[in-house]
Each structure stands twice: as C-alpha cells, then as structure tokens.
Structure 1
Amino acid sequence: MSLTTNSEFGVRPRIWFAAYQFLWHLLLPLAFVRLAWRARHAFSYLHHIPERLGFGYSKPISQGSIWIHAVSVGETRAAQPLIEAYLAEGESVLLTHMTLNGRRTGKQLFAREIAAGQIRQVYLPYDLCWSVEHFLKTFKPKFGLFMETEAWPTVVFRCKEIGLPLFLVNARLSERSALRVNRFGKAGRALFQAFTGILAQTEFDAGRYRSLGVKNVVITGNLKFDVPLNPQLLAKGKEWQKELHAGNRLLVSAASTRDGEEAIILKAWKDLLLSNAFAIPPLLCLVPRHPERFLEVADQINNTGFKFRRRSEWAGIPSECAGLDVVLGDSMGEMPMYYGASDLVLMGGSLLPFGGQNLIEACAAGCPVLLGEYTYNFQQAALDAINSGAAKRIQGELLLTEPIALMEALKELLLNAAELVKMSAAAKAYSTEHQGATNRILAALDQQNLR
C-alpha cells in the first residue's frame, strides 16, 4: 500500500498511519489471545481465524458483489432491508462482520441466501495493510457500504487509493465521538473525508460529519425503522402476554442490558416488589446484550433471592412463569418475542453511559419505552420517541445503592393502564412514521452510477 508516501494525505496523517500500522502489528498477538479467552464460553470464536488475516476463504470465490460491512448484531439487523433490496434486484452480497454474534445473526437472518450462494459471509480482516490488500484482491467488490460507525483507516484509505467506492451508510456520529476524532487533527478528519460519501441518519449526525470537512453528506434517515419484526416470534410473545394478562399480571422487559445495569435494575425491582403497590406483582424479563454474560447475570439474579428461571430451561409456555419474579432471557434472536409479551420496555445501555440500545424495535412492537439518561447513540430517535409520547425518560439520578428514580418511574407507569395503552399506540405510530430510509439510501447510491 502506498498511503505512507501519498502526498494527498499530508505529512502528519502519513506519520500517524505508519504508527497505527506498527501498533496493530505489535498488538496482533493480543487480538488472538482475546479470541482464545472468549472461546472459554463459545469455541466458535476460534473458527475462521485465517479470515481475520485476509486468507483462508473457501472456494468458489465470487467477485463483483456488493460489499456490506456490519460489525455486530445491531448493524447486521439494520442492514437487513438494504441487503434484501439488493438481492431482489439480482445482486450478490459480500457480508462481512467483526464479531461472532454479528456473524451468527447474519447466518440466522440469511441462512437460505447463504446456502444458495447469493450471500457470501466472512470476517473483515484485521486492519493491517497486507491483510486488507489480500481481502480486496480476493473479492474485488463493486462498491462497499459500511454500516453506522465503522471507519477502519487501512480499509478506508486503501479503497480510496484504488478507486473502490466506499460509503458510510445509516451513519451516526455522537458529539463525544466527533470530539474524539478532532483530537487526531487532520489525520482523524482525513479518515472520514476519504469515504466516497456519507449517508447520515439525522441532521445531528450530518452536521458533525460536515464539521470534519466531509463534503458529500446526505441525510437518509434510520434503516432500523425499516427492519421487519419476525411475525412468528411476535405472535408467540403476544400469546405469552395474553396468558399473563388473564392472571392480571404485567411484564416489563429490560432489553439489551449492559454490564453494571443489571445490578441497578434488580435493586429497583426488589424495591418495587417490596412496595406492595401491586395486588399481583409484575414480572421482570431481563435480557442481557451479550450472551457471554448470561451466566454472570444469572448469578446476580440468584444472589438477590429472586425466584427466577432461564429462558433456555423452559419451552416458553407462559404458565411456567407462575410464581417467578424474574425471567432471564438467555436466548439469541428472540427479542421480538420478548417485546410481544411486554407491557413496558426498559431500554438497556441508557442507564449507564453506553449510549443506549435500539429503542426503535421495541416501538415497532407497540411497546412503551422507559429510557435512562444516556441515549446519544440514538439521539434523534430518542428525542422523537419522547416527543411523540412513545417513550419517557427517567427523572432523577440512578444510583446503584438506591435507584429510587427507576423504581418510581416503573411504578408510576405500571399502575397507569390508560397511559400504557396511549404510549403503545404512540409507539406504533412513531415507528411507522419514520420508515423509508432503505429507499432513500438506494436512491442516493443510484445517483452515484455505481452499477
């Protein structure tokens, strides 16, 4: 690769890039140690190791596909309507990931298309010059679409050098991330300027990319509004909800929770049940974001003294929830079922500074949503949901020792059936109103004459 001698990028970015490559080579052994460590919980982390170095692809190799990179679960789900649109046009897709869970999600969503050869699924190699070079020469895609926040310097700069169009789609950039990019000066700004174009979710995001000197920025909306919920799982959840309601019992799902949030939620839930505000106590369904934490969270629930059961241990028959305080949602790909059964969703990632997880899917299922303070990953979506009446934000400080604000917010909503019904209707209207990003993205890309 010639980036280190390409005058277009300036002296400092070239020095930065050389240092970046040196650091990658230095830390490469640690990347494999990390995979081995994670393999304690899932041996699949050690599968396809050569792909992470840009080699070891099974034959046949199809070239000229549309390359879509979705780093993990959320990005893969968001890419679904875009992938389906290209497949419907007869295109083949090269789908890359960085995480095991992202790859699992892609395989689950597109098993038939992968088997038919319409989709090729591999890991994006580590961001080393030689691994990226071999990857690009092997697959020779028509153009690339990186989902949301992915901007690997070696990949981005090399695509620019060889004239391979590369777009950042469904792009988002928080204020915190924009400040972090600016700390790298011209080197950081050059990274985003090297994209052929950026298709941003909101005006907030577009403004931050423009502040980095990016010229070709278009606002296309959020693809997550176009992602269909699995109707079978949603119906299964509704059956669960129906049986719970027959016993006058409500269900709260704490969805996609992150490390540290479960302790806050469990303390608030214990205080809620001890308040004796309910003739029939509600049920909590706790769904951690990462499957490798299922065992850890199960131990936390057990240590609180709650009566609980793991989803993996029962057939999903609602009557098996009788007498339980908590259900641990230790399953992958069943969020539509949990949403279908829920009367209220507490959105994970928003109670501590993780930026919030995807509230859009919950709203599409007609779930009222309760948000914490930290929603910068979904800034516009959260504001719109609150303004539409689909969501509420917890008022007050969330302390681990005394999460009174969370307990009071849960109690207030669960005791107000009329408000939950109103919020449910608002959630459905909100999710429908903001659809259409897929068509806007396709139209913007078609204007580039890429095919």
Structure 2
Amino acid sequence: MSVHSFPSPRMRWFLRFYTLLWVALFPFAMLYLFWRGRKDGMYREFLNERFGAYIDKPVTNGVWVHAVSLGEFRSAVPLISALLERGEKIVITNFTPAGRREARKQFPEAIANNQMSIIWVPFEFDWCFRKFFQSFRPKYGLVMEVEYWPRMIASCHKHGVPLFICNGQYPTKSFERDQGRMRAELVGGFAGVLAKSDLQADRFRSLGATNIAVTGELRFDQPIAPHLLQAAAVIKPNLLRPVVTLASVVLGEDETYIAGIKTARAAWLKAGKTPPLFIYVPRAPERFDETGALLSAAGLNVMKRSDVLGDALDLTADLAGCDVLLGDSMGEMYFYLSLADQVIVGGGFHPKGAHNVIEPLAVRKPVLVGPEIWTIEYPAFEAIEAGVVQHLQTDDDLIRALGPNALGEIKGDIDVFYAAHAGATRRTIDALPELLSAVTSR
C-alpha cells in the first residue's frame, strides 16, 4: 500500500468500524483505568488530557514524542536530549504512569523552563487528537518502536502532522502474521520510518513505505545514572561470591528460572563452591510480592531490596545467608546489572519474546537469553554472532550456563561490539531533515 493512497477505501471502512468499536467499548476502557488506579492512582489522574483538554499552558511548535511506557521512553531519552540541545521544544505522550514518572524525573529543567510538556496520549478518537493538535501544534511526531494505533495514524495524516516510526522494527512473528492485514497497511499512514537495521527497513519497504532511513538502535546511546554504578562498585567486593542478575522476568517464566536457580545451586555446592547470589527482578512492579512468595515457596532464602538496602543503595543487612535478592524497586536496573557476573534477560523463555539485551551489555556484562528472541532481532542476532550473548534453547542449556564451570563465559569483546553499534542518536538527528523534506515536497 503506497503512502500516497492512504487511507485506502478498505482502510476508511475499517476506521469507521474501529471508531464504532471504541464507542461501544469506551466504558470498559474507563473501567480499566480505574481498575489499574487501585494500585497506581496516577492512572486516574489528569483524565482531561486523554480527551485532548489541558489545564497547564501547552508547549507549542515542538516535536511530539510518543513513548507508550517506560521501556519506550528510556530508548527515546538520548534523542530527546539531543533535540533539546538543538533548541527544540518537546511534548511527550505516554500511556502508563511508569513512563510519565520517568519522563518527569529525567527532564525537570526542561519542564521548569517551559521547553517540555508531558501528558497522556489522547483516546483513539479523531476529535481528541484534533484538540491535541490544536493545543500543541507539533511540527512532527515520533512514535517509538512498534506503536501502531489506527486513529492516531489516521488523524495525523488527516490533520497534516507528519508522524514517523522512530527506532522502528517489525518483528518476524508480527510481520508474518500481519501480511495482507490492516495493521500492515497502517504503515502507509506514516510519513516515514527511522529503522533499526537494514532487515527492518526492508520489511517496511515491502509494505509500501518509501521514506526510510536506517539509523540503528537508540538504546545503545542511553545514559546511565552514575550513582547506580558507584553504589554497585561499593557493594560488589563485599558479596564474596559470584552474582547472577535475572532482569525483567515476566509472568510465565518463574517456574523455569526457579528450577534453574535450585539446580545450579546444588551443582555449585556439589563442586564444593559457594553458590552465586541471584538477583531476581520482575518486569512488572505489581508482581513483586507474588514473585517473592514463589521464590520462598521453592525453599529459597529470599531477601528484598527494600529491606536490606537503604535509599542510597547502601547495605543495611548481611546478605551472607541470602539465596535470592528480590529487586523490588523501579529505576535501579543498572545497579542490579552492575553487580552481576552474568545476566539473564527475561522474556526469552516466554512466547511473547525477550526484552532488550543492550542494558547489560552497556555495563559490559555477558548475557544469557532464552529461545524467544523474535522481539529483539536487532541487535540480538548480531550480539549472538559476536559472542557477547548466549542464545539458550532449553532449560538444560540454562542450567549448564549457570554451572560452576560455565558462569560468566564469553567468547566475544563487548567493548568492540558496543562501539560498532552506538551512534543511533546522531544518525536519527541527521536523517530527520531529509525525511521531513521528502514529506513537504509531495
């Protein structure tokens, strides 16, 4: 589907149906926000913004960055920083409180100086987006990763707001599933694509996109808070044993990882060695208590970060008898990763796919990931080929990798790999003028 013929007659009918579906299900959308608000009250706050109405004075004529949640926002941080340095104003839209909180935490000066607004993304109605565009008058929009919301895309196209896919990818399973479907046709509604790799660019091109630049993965340029690295450097020598960090474990993987921890511990004890300390960090904060209960029920001695570490990440208790430290905190992942001799990236033993391997590589830690890496094809394939990530296929592979003779094993050079893939922020900034010029010349 060519970008010039968007929306097609078929897409117009789909959008009518989509709107009717949203009208019918809208009460349930509101109930969802109030239900999620039981655990996180921010879901219920600033509801006016979801309807395109704003209390505070909007930041106008800026760049709109849509990062639905925490992970997408963090990938956008280096790019947002670079845009601010160039004098651009920014409006950030999120859907989840985690992303909104992190945005406010990262850019307090820009907010105070009226260079940035942080708001909820409007509901999927054209009139909500029309009011958003009238209030903020964005120059163009950057949608991070794989957020394809039909009404957002169609409203941008209708109201003349160029919307680009940024840090773009179309994972294999989604690409194969979406062939001939409306989701694939939505690509034609974007003004252009800033793709992570040549493979991803080819996929967008096969769906009709023509305004494409290959810019790489922005996560390679993510800043790391120095205090997290410093705190880990202080604590690490006092642990007196290896450390394995399980990062962003998702629901459905616990059985695999708990069995792996127990079996690995037995192998270390049998070899007459002190077993590693396992740091277990669930992906979702609402699973902290549930995960702690599962680990304890498995017979493991569990301590919580909230109980044994102070606000400054200083040890307040002895970890000598601890089998598993539960990472029940947000925003401290680089601390947990920096303590590790080996990192297991969560999601790889779940059909929904693994989370990114870049954060542990950023602190130069060897990585293990399960079989399901279709969500992180770039840079996972390249990292596996370079020998800095091990691609495990079975539970037995996991157990072997955690054993006393294999822990921390690495074949490649992380420094060389990382240097080869950094620089996506600069490439994105350089590519935007040409992509925007192609839009205005149509």
Identify the TM-score tier after normalising by the shorter chain. Answer: over 0.9
2:227 counterpart (221, 228, 232): 232
| Residue 208 (structure 1) aligns with | 203
Equivalent pair of 2:6/2:189 in contact (CA under 8 Å): no
Amino acid of the residue matched to residue 364 of structure 2? G
Q: What does 1:408-423 align with in structure 2 at a 5 Å threshold?
A: 408-411=400-403, 414-416=404-406, 420=409, 422=410
Deviations 1:126-185 (A, max 9, x none): 21122122111111111111111112111211211222111111101112212333242x
| Residue 41 (structure 1) aligns with | 39
Deviation at 1:7, TM superposition (A): 8.2
2:322 counterpart (324, 331, 339): 324
Amino acid of the residue matched to residue 433 of structure 2? D
| Structure 1 residues 416 and 180: alpha-carbon distance in aligned structure 2, compared to 1, 3 A threshold | closer
Amino acid of the residue matched to residue 393 of structure 1? H
Amino acid of the residue matched to residue 18 of structure 2? Y
Equivalent pair of 1:175/1:208 in contact (CA under 8 Å): no
1:145 aligns with 2:142: yes
1:305 counterpart (276, 299, 314): 299
d(CA) in 2 for partners of 1:27 and 1:293?
27
d(CA) in 2 for partners of 1:264 and 1:190?
38
Deviation at 1:8, TM superposition (A): 5.3
1:81 aligns with 2:78: yes
1:63 counterpart (60, 63, 68): 60
1:281 aligns with 2:275: yes
Q: What does 1:227-376 align with in structure 2 at a 5 Å threshold?
A: 227-244=222-239, 247=240, 249-275=241-267, 276=269, 277=271, 279-314=273-308, 315=310, 316-318=313-315, 320-376=318-374
Q: What does 1:14-33 align with in structure 2 at a 5 Å threshold?
A: 14-33=12-31
d(CA) in 1 for partners of 2:207 and 2:266?
52
SS at match of 2:79: helix
Q: What does 1:109-188 align with in structure 2 at a 5 Å threshold?
A: 109-184=106-181, 187-188=182-183
d(CA) in 2 for partners of 1:366 and 1:50?
44
d(CA) in 1 for partners of 2:185 and 2:261?
48
Amino acid of the residue matched to residue 77 of structure 1? R
d(CA) in 2 for partners of 1:299 and 1:293?
10
| Structure 1 residues 353 and 449: alpha-carbon distance in aligned structure 2, compared to 1, 3 A threshold | closer
Deviation at 1:112, TM superposition (A): 2.9
SS at match of 2:98: helix
TM-score (norm 2): 0.92
| Residue 9 (structure 1) aligns with | 7
Amino acid of the residue matched to residue 355 of structure 1? G
User: Which 5+ residue runs of structure 1 have no aligned equivalent?
Assistant: 1-5, 399-403
Amino acid of the residue matched to residue 52 of structure 2? G
d(CA) in 2 for partners of 1:39 and 1:263?
29
| Structure 1 residues 278 and 133: alpha-carbon distance in aligned structure 2, compared to 1, 3 A threshold | farther
d(CA) in 2 for partners of 1:17 and 1:102?
28
Deviations 1:174-219 (A, max 9, x none): 12212333242xx434311111100100122111111211111221
d(CA) in 1 for partners of 2:176 and 2:15?
19
| Residue 421 (structure 2) aligns with | 434
SS at match of 1:9: coil
| Residue 105 (structure 2) aligns with | 108
Amino acid of the residue matched to residue 91 of structure 1? E
Mean CA deviation greater in 432-441 or 267-276: 267-276
d(CA) in 2 for partners of 1:438 and 1:88?
12
Amino acid of the residue matched to residue 130 of structure 1? W
Deviations 1:216-264 (A, max 9, x none): 12211111111122121012112222222xx2x0110000111011221
Deviation at 1:449, TM superposition (A): 5.1
TM-score (norm 1): 0.91
d(CA) in 2 for partners of 1:88 and 1:180?
40
1:220 aligns with 2:221: no
Deviations 1:353-375 (A, max 9, x none): 22211111110101100010011
Amino acid of the residue matched to residue 341 of structure 2? D
Mean CA deviation greater in 21-30 or 251-260: 21-30
Amino acid of the residue matched to residue 347 of structure 2? G
d(CA) in 2 for partners of 1:8 and 1:269?
52
d(CA) in 2 for partners of 1:7 and 1:354?
33
Deviation at 1:285, TM superposition (A): 0.4
RMSD: 2.0
d(CA) in 2 for partners of 1:146 and 1:44?
22
d(CA) in 1 for partners of 2:183 and 2:300?
49
Deviations 1:315-350 (A, max 9, x none): 244563221000110111101101111100000011
Equivalent pair of 1:309/1:326 in contact (CA under 8 Å): yes
Amino acid of the residue matched to residue 356 of structure 1? A
Amino acid of the residue matched to residue 192 of structure 2? G
SS at match of 2:186: helix
| Structure 1 residues 139 and 325: alpha-carbon distance in aligned structure 2, compared to 1, 3 A threshold | same
Amino acid of the residue matched to residue 331 of structure 2? G
| Structure 1 residues 239 and 415: alpha-carbon distance in aligned structure 2, compared to 1, 3 A threshold | farther
d(CA) in 1 for partners of 2:19 and 2:69?
24
